[in-house]
Structure 1
Amino acid sequence: MAVLKLSGTLNSEPQGKSHPEAGSDSSLSFLHGTKLAYASNLVRDWHADLLHYQGLKPGSAKLHRDNLLRLLNHARVAPWELQKDHVTRYFESRVNQETGQMLAPATVGTYCAAWRGFQNYMLTAERVNELFSEFNVRPKAFVDDDNSIAVKRHKLNWVPKGWALTDLEIDAIDETFRSEIARAAREHSKSLLPLLRDRVMFHVGIHFALRISELTELRVSSFCASLDADLQHFGKWGVLTVTGKGDVTGSVPMRDPSVHGLIEWYTNSVRQKILLRRKSKTEDDGRREIKGQMVSVSDLMFPSERGGVVCPNGFRKRLADIAMKSGVLRRKLTPHTLRHTGCTLMVPLYSPEIAQKYMRHKHLHTTLYYYHPTPLGAANEVNSAAQLFDDEEED
């Protein structure tokens, strides 16, 4: 189901305008006097709560606030006067008048998440009592399962799109990498070093179940020796600590001697060549900005030929090209498939709960979506598929 384009609707304005996006205007000009003061302060305090107590990033907090303002500006009532009908009528107003197309369930879910968050904030006892004392109105819940039914149906019909590589497919892709590397060496091609690097990225992405941004921005200093006596033979590569989506940080142990050997070989024989042969500008100070932090190029695990972060799209194209040449895959191989594969290998080796920790997921059921056992092998694994859902957390 397509999402209505926001440009050209009542809820948007062309980029580059200095005034607020129409529909998310915070002036609440339809209110006056005490009502305006209470409403403005209530929205402002909730936004501050999102930022400073719930820890949302500024962009996410602003999106929640703007979505609430869209509902208020459409309903033209104070926040404590919102009713379920206001939600229904807002969604009806967003239906495409030409095609009859409604908002996608995921978009409806985004709106409802913001409104439900504000609803929970407003309906605390002290705020309800103050609003009733001042306006003789007791605020009620205006978002429930009935007026967000599209989200519920979407979840019931949701089918995971991810998939995982089998051992045979991993071996076939690695063999294709080797073949391409040998060809590049024979032809003295400039693609030799990038191919060597990308082959290591392929295996590291699977082994530690990394997201594409985590993989391309990986640092040497993110690795350290493990305190576990059983892992000390991996030396300084014993544990990888990574911060990813939502600024969640987690540590994943090295477990495969072959991956450890591959990293040792790469850092000793390939990585320094890429660094020393990089094409740098005269004013290059040997640092790059990554997510607001200045990082030394020499600390990048997988530097590009220009001494920066490897382009995610470049790595995607490399994977797709290697997968096509391998001839063993019927589906498109993407970097995120490596993360699914890593989780699928972790779950039977450790446990669903430990895999959740290493994947840095908030909910166990999210980790289980990344677990794709083979039909014949799942029943023989230490943690079979039937056991995995026994301890599933609520979303």
Structure 2
Amino acid sequence: MEKRLFNTRKPIRKGRRVQERKVNLDLTLVEMFERFLTVKKSEALAERTISDYEIHFGYFYDFIEGDISANEVTIHLLREYMSYMIHEKGLKPMTVNLRVRTLRAFMRFCYTEGYIQEPFHEKFKPIKVPEDTIQALTPGEVKILLSVIDEQYYASYRDKTMILILLDTMVRISELLEIKRDNVDLKTGFIQLEEEKTKTRKSRIVPLSSKSIKVLSEYLTETEDFRSNLLFLTNDGRKLTANTFRRNMMEYGERAQIKNKRVSPHTLRHTGALFYIMNGGDPFSLQKILGHSDMSMVRKYIQMTNSDVKRQHNSFSPLNRLK
């Protein structure tokens, strides 16, 4: 019998050598957050995003009542903070989730960098909430809203102009407040949004309707005396804040007696998107105007009521082709 010259048994596969994670537990929570913020700033994130990180960390810092060591950060502490926000502070689920997402990003960074031992971000998750659907205003409600604004005062005149431009261009309030007079081209009918001032960090051009061109032309003439290139300013020529305009919008909504609907800049963005589609606009051009890379986001902006669908069906029914 012929003798085998080699072993037919398969060799045992050697496992990969797992390297132990190097963990530096010498840092405090504040020191870790300062490093986290440095990295985020180096990624050229929007100023608002950086500000949100600082504000939301501040809420957690107030809860723990001072700085703590890396060893003292536990999943139990994070869950206690969530319970505190929900049951003691009575915050809305959407608000809680905003703060949780910020902390999760921070915890993920700390674990990846080796500042904490456990991946707390995998266990510390947002709570499930019903999808937030923003009800758009009706054309009648928009007309009433505009009618309650007294244009004889600059602030009110400015706000009315902003409402019309928000409806027409569907830009975000943060983007609107960063528009400079030089960004407005009334001849071509476009506004240039600078990349560092948009949420997506991409520049885009939004078109203006003939009505908006007329409104902005009058507004630019009325505000020539301001010594600032920013388009929308306070009475004394300072930069207008989004919160100030949001408060004004709420007040106008109360005067117009618009109930059961949120009257806000974001509602105007949704309203403009719905009006655009109802007037025959296509979703692809709407996507570009809104500045979304994903069509699924556009769908969220178009919340049609049964009456909206009925009107569209009456206009575009297949049977209309038989007339």
TM-score (norm 1): 0.52
> How far apart in 1 are the matches of 2:40 and 2:57?
9
Partner residue of 2:145?
173
Q: Secondary structure at the match of 2:192?
A: strand
C-alpha separation in 2, matches of 1:368 and 1:339:
13
The alpha carbon displacement at 1:221 in A equals 0.9
Structure 1 gaps, min length 5: 1-21, 28-42, 76-85, 124-138, 185-190, 225-233, 279-285, 287-296, 383-395
Who is 1:203 aligned against? 164
Q: 2:136 aligns with which of 145, 164, 169?
A: 164
Inter-CA distance 195–61: structure 2 relative to 1 (3 Å threshold): closer
SS in 2 for 1:376: helix
Residue 143 of structure 1 deviates from its aligned partner by 4.3
**Inter-partner Cα distance in structure 2 for 1:71 and 1:267:** 55
- The 2-side partners of 1:176 and 1:61 are apart by 37
The question of 1:74 aligning with 2:72 is answered yes
Tell me how large the CA RMSD over aligned residues is: 4.4
CA distance in 2, matches of 1:361, 1:256: 21
Q: What amino acid is the match of 2:107?
A: W
**Residue pair 2:181, 2:230 contacting (<8 A) in 1 also:** yes
1:266 aligns with 2:219: yes
Q: Select which of 308, 314, 317 maps to 2:238.
A: 308
1-side partners of 2:177 and 2:82: how far apart?
40
C-alpha separation in 1, matches of 2:183 and 2:120? 46
Give the aligned partner of residue 215 of structure 1: 176
Question: Secondary structure of 2:187's match?
Answer: helix
Q: How does 1:67-146 map to 2 (within 5 A)?
A: 72-74=70-72, 87=75, 89-92=76-79, 94=81, 104-117=96-109, 119=111, 121=112, 143-144=121-122
Give, in whole Å, the separation in 1 of the partners of 2:37 and 2:254: 48
What's 1:389 paired with?
Answer: none
| 1:322 paired to 2:252 | yes
- The number of residues matched between the two structures is 267
| Mapped contact 2:172–2:269 kept (Cα < 8 A) | yes
| Counterpart position of 1:335 | 265
Partner-residue secondary structure (3-state), 2:131: coil
Gap change, CA 1:56 and 1:262, over 3 Å in 2? closer
2:10 aligned residue: none
Aligned to 2:317: none
Counterpart in the other structure of 2:14: none
* Aligned mates of 1:64, 1:305 — CA distance in 2: 31
Give yes or no for contact 2:136–2:268 (8 Å, CA) kept in 1.
Answer: yes
Does the 8 Å contact 2:189/2:207 carry over to 1? Answer: yes
- Counterpart of 1:24 in structure 2 is 29
Q: 1:376 aligns with which of 300, 307, 321?
A: 307
Percent identity of paired positions between Structure 1 and Structure 2: 16
Separation in structure 2 between the aligned mates of residue 59 and residue 329 of structure 1, nearest angstrom: 32
Task: Work out the CA distance in 2 between the residues paired with 1:350 and 1:328.
Answer: 27
CA deviation string 1:40-90 (max 9, x = no partner) = xxx96x7765443575766678799999x9683325xxxxxxxxxx53x34
Contact 1:223 1:239 in 2 (8 A): yes
Gaps of 5+ in 2: 1-26, 61-66, 314-323
Match for 1:359 among 253, 266, 290? 290
Please give the secondary structure, in 1, of the residue aligned with 2:212: helix
For 1:63 and 1:310, the matched residues in 2 are separated by: 20
State the Cα distance separating 1:329 from its structure 2 match.
Answer: 4.6
Q: CA deviation at 1:203?
A: 0.1
**Match of 1:240, SS?**
strand
Say whether the 8 Å CA contact 1:223–1:236 is kept in structure 2.
Answer: no
Aligned residue for 1:305, secondary structure, equals: coil
Is the contact made by 1:239 and 1:253 (CA closer than 8 Å) also made in structure 2?
yes
1:306 and 1:110, CA in 2 relative to 1: closer, same or farther beyond 3 A? closer
